[in-house]
Amino acid sequence: MHTLSVNSFAKINLGLLITGKRDDGYHTLETIFAPINWYDTIEFTESGTVSMSCSNVDLPVDENNLCIRAARSLQHFSGTSKGVSMTLLKQVPFGAGLGGGSSDAATVLRVLNELWQLNVSQTDLHKLAVKLGADVPYFLSMKGLAYARGIGDELEDLGFTLPWYVVTVFPEEHISTVWAYRNFYKRFDRQIPDLKKSASELCLGGNKAMFPLFENDFEPAVFDHFPAVRAVKSALLDAGTVFASLSGSGSAVFGLFEEERDALEAMKRLPENYRKSLTPPGFTMA
Ligand SMILES: C[C@](O)(CO)[C@H](O)COP(=O)(O)OP(=O)(O)OC[C@H]1O[C@@H](n2ccc(N)nc2=O)[C@H](O)[C@@H]1O
Ligand SMILES: Nc1ncnc2c1ncn2[C@@H]1O[C@H](COP(=O)(O)OP(=O)(O)OP(=O)(O)O)[C@@H](O)[C@H]1O
């Protein structure tokens, strides 16, 4: 039987400014998404029903898994009764702010739309994606650096890439996104910098004075509650990173490096049991 194998990449957030709260409880934000070279692999095999297995026993393989939820939402929307058997080789840590589950969901939507020959439009896929999670639209429609607003679902392809090596570190702490949105320290009344313009000045113009604008609003509360996460940022700064930050709602922290040898040296200095990835400059998911 034919099996299709697809890699599902993770992201980091370069800056994450929470600007308000909507009536439905979701928060509005502005952020820059950047893809990293850390990925799950999903194998798709034809089947009469929808089912999955997962290499990580800590994750559900029932209707709670985002892969199953994505397949069901497509079945429901299109009316198809086709099935699929999926094997998720989970490598991206969850509860890490790396969007691993969201990326899996986007991959399943995209691949099953083809495999099941549904021809669901990008607009409709985008609507299904938002219902599965605020980060899912990014993985569905973007390949590289993107500016996002709304709840993370209003996206603009920036058309350039990060010119640094990215070291991403998971400090073996799982942080729930719901917890992070409940506990971050609100600053809704401040002036929001123009992240899109600043990203361009930083990545294309090499203006490092822009870095301090790329704050992550989850960082102070996460660092106060999870000292091990703060320690990773300190270690990256000690190792000579040009910029370090929490990704998304945490717990993963990333550092940007100009030289590969410095990035590798920083990875060596961090605790051996912390999972890490290295992404080269100019990386895209294409
Ligand atoms: C932290 C980020 O990763 C930044 O990219 C995202 O905002 C989180 O996106 P996600 O994991 O796809 O989040 P979802 O699965 O949609 O939402 C989980 C929960 O987080 C909260 N949530 C999420 C996104 C958002 N913009 N505002 C929120 O308040 C809501 O309580 C929601 O019920
Ligand atoms: N395929 C999946 N991969 C990872 N987590 C999944 C998956 N399906 C369901 N989940 C559940 O989603 C939660 C974490 O999801 P995810 O990996 O997207 O969070 P995250 O790392 O905090 O990323 P982000 O908040 O940036 O989207 C876990 O509680 C997990 O049980």
Q: Which of 108, 106, 107, 115 minimizes the C-alpha distance to 46? A: 115
64 CA closest ligand 2 atom index: 9
Report which protein residue has its CA nearest ligand 1's atom 33: 178
Which mutation among 29, 59, 136, 184 tests ligand 2's pocket best, with the greatest number of atoms within 8 A of CB? 59
Segment 45-98, tens digit of pLDDT: 999 999 999 999 999 999 999 999 999 999 999 999 999 999 999 999 999 999
- State yes or no: 93 annotated in a binding site: yes
* Residue 223 near residue 230, CB atoms below 8 Å: yes
Whole-angstrom Cα distance, residue 218 to residue 73? 30
100 labelled as ligand-binding? yes
Q: Give span(s): CATH 3.30.70.890, the chain.
A: 165-279
Q: What stretch(es) of the chain map to CATH 3.30.230.10? A: 3-157
**Would the pLDDT of 179 be above 90?**
yes
Distance 61 CA to ligand 1 centre (A): 21
pLDDT band at 255 (very low <50, low <70, confident <90, very high): very high
Write out pLDDT tens, residues 101-114: 999 999 999 999 99
The mean pLDDT value of the chain amounts to: 97
Ligand nearest to C-alpha 92: 2
- pLDDT greater than 90 at residue 286: no
Is the omega angle on the peptide bond into residue 247 within 30 degrees of 0, that is, cis? no
Ligand 2: atom nearest CA of 69 is 8
User: Which residues touch 11 (CB under 8 Å, ≥6 apart)?
Assistant: 33, 34, 35, 36, 98, 99, 103, 135, 138, 139, 247, 248
pLDDT of residue 3: 95
- Report the separation in Å between the CA atom of 134 and the middle of ligand 1, taken as the mean of its atom positions: 5
Looking from the CA of 32 toward its CB, the CA atoms found within 13 Å total 25
* CA–CA separation, 156 and 56 (whole Å): 33
What pLDDT is attached to residue 7? Answer: 98
Q: What is the pLDDT of residue 213?
A: 97
Q: Is the CB of 40 under 6 A from ligand 2?
A: no
Instruction: Quote the pLDDT of residue 269.
Output: 95
Residue 245 confidence (pLDDT): 98
> Does the annotation list 48 as a binding residue?
no
> Taking residues 244-270, what's their average pLDDT?
97
CATH class of 3-157: alpha beta
Gap from CA of 18 to ligand 1 centroid (Å): 11
Q: What is the largest CA-CA distance in the chain?
A: 57
pLDDT over threshold 90, residue 10: yes
Ligand found nearest the CA of 29? 1
Q: Is the pLDDT of residue 1 over 80?
A: no
Give me the CATH topology for the region 165-279.
Alpha-Beta Plaits (3.30.70)
Percent of all residues in the chain with a pLDDT value above 70, rounded to a whole number? 100
Q: Which atom of ligand 2 is nearest to the CA of 90?
A: 3
- Judge whether residue 202 has pLDDT over 90: yes
255 C-beta closer than 6 A to ligand 2: no
Q: How far away, in angstroms, is 130 Cα from ligand 1 center?
A: 10
Q: Average pLDDT, stretch 106-133?
A: 98
Can you state the angle between helices 66-78 and 100-115, rounded to 10 degrees? 40
Q: Is 67 in the pocket of ligand 2 (CB under 6 A)?
A: yes
Task: Check whether 154 has a pLDDT greater than 80.
Answer: yes
Contact indicator for 226, 251 with CB cutoff of 8 Å: yes
Above 90 in pLDDT, residue 28?
yes
pLDDT tens column, 219-246:
999 999 999 999 999 999 999 999 999 9
Active site residues: 11, 135
